[in-house]
A and B are shown apart, each in its own frame.
Chain A
């Protein structure tokens, strides 16, 4: 017969840490499968790419050899010249390599976030650190209960912490898209439209990513852009049809009334769409317990913004025209 279970007692004197994170459950720790994951489109390796890379490496090696030879030669001519040359090259190489390391580091961070997002492996504490909001860390420390299970912690983190960041981000989106809409509405030619859109979106993406604690380097930004556009083009197509369908209809109606307002509205909606994509790509976990920020109030905001801009614009033009006609009369 097996032994009876008994409670084991430990000495109270020994040092013990108050526990802050429960061990993960088997049953509840994993996230259900039905949540929607972002699909990330990975580039297929190209056959010619490898050869191209090889050629580039060869060229770079040759270039470095050339430079080294040139520097050695200049050393032989005079130590002052040689010293200057080597200092200059050392500086350039140093800065360049620092730049590259930083770029790769930032790209890696973004990729790691995507990985964590789709696999749900990072603990809440890690995610909190990544967010890089000291005020929210404090808030978390306030509400945190040691008896929470992993899934409860995730839920609380999403509802109490992440939702605040989401709120800020979606406010950013609606503000920037409203601005874009207004600018497009008043911009005189199409080329300028495109430039404005590019510039505004670029800035918006940067700001949103910073909110979620993602620092974007050049490479990371490129990668994010590509992902955003790919998501919009492929996976987001059906979503877009539902989301935008009704809004386009009313946009069309507005176009009938004022072509410029319609243009502006369209540009604003696209910007918003882009912004929401960026949010879901930069977020450390997918939307589970909170609602995805949506277009609900966006269109209204956009329209009121446009209403604010357009009449004054027209008024300004009219008064200008009136003024000029007045001056003509006077003349």
Chain B
């Protein structure tokens, strides 16, 4: 029975896709970019759209054509549902907390019902449906996608340039030391064992990097293994030295790398990423600014690398059915509630500069894109003191109400001098009750209108 049911639902999906009534939204962002908070915010705003006065830019709501919106069972029965309720519970609890960082893939399906106004549908149909699938996944795994087009040798070469810069150089010392020790005594017999030891040190190094806030950590499963924890498939590492890999190790490392690509990354990509037709690229510019120059540059590198592993293009009917491509992209700066509203334009300016390289492909394929500064859940209030000072008010990590003067946001890419001064931003905690629903947001309505608004006409 359940098989028939699933078949039915799959056929329906296919029909929906054919008629372009199905959006698979890729929420792309590195770990800590605020994916879960943004997805929660989006769901919250859509589910309560008709009760909310805060969505003036969302045209279908503003013109009162939205009938309703509901959560639907996910089509992928082996993927857990995105835990929207838990996220809301954390946000509205006492003390309020941000949703937990994502450790595994989850998916949620939204169904919107609306009155069409344009085209043939507007004349013939009274109501129409649009399905939106949103997938949440650990941002660490995203960086595995660029591996698909690389060989072990190419990958090692790329990593080598990374190891030569601070702060990685210092962090990698222990691992390199161990590696050097073991390569000297590398033999065919105990290669497997030795590699396992070095790989463990490499994982430690990746964990240290993550703690430091570095972004470009490959392979992602070594940082966050998910269900693969402890399996030998994760026992490998890039070759960091100029001298060639010892013969005893070479074939094993290469085989493991290929296995990882074929058996770990590809299924993940096939299952979740292939069918996307809309993309949000979330960037936490503020944390990168706080981190300093090397972090900022690494973010730029990681972003452009990720963008290369997606297919962009216009979707014809056949393409929609069999291999959809992303036909619209939005670049989103998250956590806009940490700066005063007059600085939002500067944030979009920064993301514009950051993704310049990756966007060339979009321009070539004539893919429309927009830039936004957004807060999925807005946790601060903008106020003005009597003497005219702009301040942000909110709850800080210790749970106290604080008032912070408007933090400095650079109006262009920071220079060396700017980096010496450094940047620092407040980190507010959510402080809501269930009565605050729908939760406040910043500019989500504009984002929604750009991402799904054109299918709701």
Could you list which residues of chain A lie within 8 angstroms of chain B, going by C-beta atoms? 1-12, 14-19, 22-25, 27-28, 142-143, 145-149, 152, 156, 159-160
Contact = CB atoms under 8 A, between A and B. Distances in A.
Contacts of A2: 417, 420-421
B403 A7 contact: no
Given A2-B421, A19-B341, A147-B442, 14 more contacts: A1-B420, A5-B407, A8-B404, A10-B391, A12-B403, A16-B386, A16-B393, A19-B383, A23-B342, A24-B342, A28-B345, A145-B442, A147-B443, A149-B341
A7 B53 contact: no
B383 A5 contact: no
A159 B55 CA distance: 13
B389 A10 contact: yes
Given A7-B404, A10-B405, A160 B56 contact: yes
Interface string B253-265: 0000000000000
Interface in B416-432: 417, 420-426
30 contacts: A1-B420, A3-B421, A5-B424, A7-B405, A7-B425, A9-B405, A10-B385, A10-B404, A10-B405, A11-B403, A16-B384, A16-B403, A17-B383, A19-B383, A19-B384, A23-B342, A25-B342, A27-B345, A27-B349, A142-B53, A143-B53, A145-B54, A146-B382, A147-B336, A147-B344, A148-B341, A149-B341, A149-B345, A156-B56, A160-B56
Given A16-B383, A16-B391, A18-B383, A146 B62 contact: no
Mostly helix, strand, loop or mixed at chain A's interface?
loop
A60 to B, nearest CB: 51
A103 to B, nearest CB: 40
B350 to A, nearest CB: 13
Interface of B: 53-54, 56-57, 62, 336, 340-342, 344-345, 349, 378, 381-386, 389-391, 393, 401-405, 407-408, 417, 420-426, 442-443, 446
A276 B344 CA distance: 38
A155 B215 CA distance: 38
B345 A25 contact: yes
Contacts, number: 96
Nearest to B407: A7
A19 B344 CA distance: 15
B333 to A, nearest CB: 13
Contact of A146 (B56, B341, B421): B341
B344 A149 contact: yes
Contacts of B391: 10, 16
Contacts of B57: 156
A149 B443 CA distance: 11
The 3 nearest A-B residue pairs measured at CB: A8-B405, A16-B383, A147-B341
A3 B62 CA distance: 48
A159 B405 CA distance: 34
B345 A12 contact: no
Contacts of B386: 14-16
A12 to B, nearest CB: 5
A11 B383 CA distance: 13
Nearest to B373: A147
A3 B443 CA distance: 34
Contacts of B420: 1-2
Contacts of B401: 12
A19 B381 CA distance: 8
Nearest to B340: A22
A30 to B, nearest CB: 12
A205 to B, nearest CB: 31
Contact of B402 (A9, A14, A27): A9
Given A12-B401, A14-B386, A16-B403, A4 B421 contact: yes
Residue picked from A7, A25, A149, most chain B C-beta under 10 Å? A7
Given A8-B405, A9-B403, A9-B404, A143 B56 contact: yes
Nearest to A160: B56
Given A16-B403, A17-B384, A7 B345 contact: no
Contact of A147 (B382, B389, B390, B422): B382
Given A2-B421, A160-B56, A19 B403 contact: no
Contacts of B422: 4-5
Nearest to B425: A7
A143 B425 CA distance: 29
B423 A5 contact: yes
A158 B77 CA distance: 47
Residue picked from A9, A10, A19, A147, most chain B C-beta under 10 Å? A147
A12 B382 contact: no
A160 B62 CA distance: 9
Contacts of A159: 56, 62
Residue picked from A15, A19, A145, A160, most chain B C-beta under 10 Å? A145
Nearest to B408: A5
A19 B406 CA distance: 13
Contacts of A17: 383-384
Contacts of B408: 5
A22 B391 CA distance: 12
B195 to A, nearest CB: 43
A9 B393 CA distance: 10
Nearest to A24: B342
Contacts of B390: 19
Nearest to B345: A25
Contacts of A6: 424
B393 A12 contact: yes
Nearest to A23: B342
A136 to B, nearest CB: 14
Given A5-B424, A25-B342, A160-B56, A16 B405 contact: no
B443 A7 contact: no
A17 B391 CA distance: 10
